[in-house]
Amino acid sequence: MQFRFGDQLIDTGRRELRRGGELVALEPQVFDILVYLVVNRDRVVSKDDLLEAAWGGRIVSESALTSRITAVRKAIGDDGGAQRLIRTVPRKGLRFIGEVHEEAAATPASLPAPRLSIVVLPFENLSNDPNQGYFADGITDDLTTDLSRISDMVVISRNTAFTCQGKRIDTKQIGRELGVRYVLEGSVRRSGSQIRINAQLIDAETDTHLWAERFDGDTSDLFALQDEITTRIAVALNIELINREAARPTENPDAFDYVLRGRRATDAKLRTRDNYAEAVDLFERALALDPLSLNAQSRLVIALTARVLDQMTASAVADIARAETLIRRVTATAPLNPLSHFAKGQLLRVQRRYAEAIPEYEAVLTLNRNWVNALSNLAECKLFAGSIDEVIPLHEQAICISPRDPSISIWYFRIGVAHLLQSHIDEAIVWFEKARSANPELPYAHSTSPQHLPSMGRPNARRLNLPRRGD
């Protein structure tokens, strides 16, 4: 359906809000809250209703909900003072009071689907017991939530996705009807205490399979297993979709095209001066086309600071100065955005202000638990801040979430360093060897010679000239 009020139009199929014909950028949860308020405009909507609509009933902080409601009001040109469209009913909730006209949606095929757009179809229960369907539904719910936390991802709501449950699926038709480029589908099979989950990513435009993975586990801790599997799928899909979209041929690239290409350059397994130079150039091009782009500004800060940390720039002072200028704009525009927190953490880290960087990365993980680089960077800050005991668990969590990550050799190395600082020499050697095996080109994986370790005594962070990684 489409809902029109004043000069504004909500298209639920395309998940778009337009004001005066111009597209308004909205985070997925903000869009879900707006649609829920409009659809239920005949009554007062409670806080619990909104939590269920946008977070699937998960417990979130009061400030998180308040910030999303504020974003909804701002998107439609309203505020808490005027309350022209959304009225606050004290101690009861909210009600949408604007005059709304419902219309049949235009054919989604008339406009291209958003680049990073996906629907998670209900996972199929292949177990002999039909009552096991709750677990398959839980996987679907959690994946929808986890994917919606990824920057720039447009995810169809679970309520819409579940209308496809039990039906024969034509992927191209689903893509046209929902206005998405990608479809994620899968199945769950449970036998005794063992469970197997298959997931596959499909290009909705061509009906071709792009990615598939199988996960096996023991159901002794069902909640933990579900959490681990959905997180790993979300992280793997993020990498896959960015690479797919960045590789699409584009005759007239816009700012987002350049951002996608820059992200692909910075996500390269073997980072070089050329990779970083390419990424910085692409993000600068994005800013030239859209000077107010939070995405481009934040990604440029991350790229500039990363190449300084990796000692792959001849202009470190200029890079840091440029990053400082950009971060002031970013934090002023969107102080609660996880990308803003990550970019600020990067700048603080390159300035060796580790204790100040720690809460920035922690804020990122509160908003997006799947951001593995935030986990690894938090671990490095903990290391240099002296909290060595926390380093290994954080990196082990990152490895569990993304076992095929391009940065895994660095995580192995940092675990080795933590063991070394705790005088666990044998364990340190094992992890240094794992780092060298995972990426023989990693320079500092060769910097600590195993045959010299026993004679070093008890090392400490001041004595070791530890490399700092820019990811």
pLDDT tens, residue by residue, 175-217? 888 888 999 999 998 877 888 899 999 999 888 888 888 888 8
Going by pLDDT thresholds of 50, 70 and 90, the confidence category of residue 358 is: very high
Provide the CB-side half-sphere exposure for 469 (13 A, CA). 28
Structure tokens belonging to residue 445: 């994986």
SS3 letters across 333-402: HCCCCHHHHHHHHHHHHHCCCHHHHHHHHHHHHHHCCCCHHHHHHHHHHHHHHCCHHHHHHHHHHHHHHC
| 160 or 452: which leads in pLDDT | 160
For residue 156, give the nearest of 185, 136, 134 by alpha carbon. Answer: 185
Query: What's residue 109's pLDDT?
Result: 42
Residue 384, pLDDT > 70, answer yes
Query: What's residue 455's pLDDT?
Result: 40
Give pTM, 2 decimals: 0.65
- The Cα 202–Cα 211 span in angstroms is 7
Query: What's residue 457's pLDDT?
Result: 42
Q: Which domains does the chain have, with CATH numbers?
A: 2-106 (1.10.10.10), 111-241 (3.40.50.10610), 249-368 (1.25.40.10), 371-471 (1.25.40.10)
Query: What's residue 370's pLDDT?
Result: 83
Query: What's residue 80's pLDDT?
Result: 83
- The Cα 379–Cα 393 span in angstroms is 9
- The Cα 297–Cα 329 span in angstroms is 8
Taking residues 125-148, report their average pLDDT.
83
- The Cα 377–Cα 319 span in angstroms is 20
Residue 304, pLDDT > 90, answer yes
Structure tokens belonging to residue 84: 């022209």
For the chain, the average pLDDT equals 84
Query: What's residue 456's pLDDT?
Result: 40
Taking residues 264-286, report their average pLDDT.
85
E-strand spans in 52-174?
86-89, 93-96, 101-103, 117-120, 124-125, 154-155
Going by pLDDT thresholds of 50, 70 and 90, the confidence category of residue 442 is: low
253 secondary structure, DSSP code: -
Going by pLDDT thresholds of 50, 70 and 90, the confidence category of residue 233 is: confident
Q: Where are the alpha helices (DSSP H) in 193-293?
A: 222-247, 255-266, 273-289
Residues 6+ apart with CB under 8 A from 423: 458, 459
Residues 6+ apart with CB under 8 A from 238: 150, 153, 370
Residue 299, pLDDT > 90, answer yes
Query: What's residue 445's pLDDT?
Result: 67
Going by pLDDT thresholds of 50, 70 and 90, the confidence category of residue 145 is: confident
Residue 406, pLDDT > 90, answer no
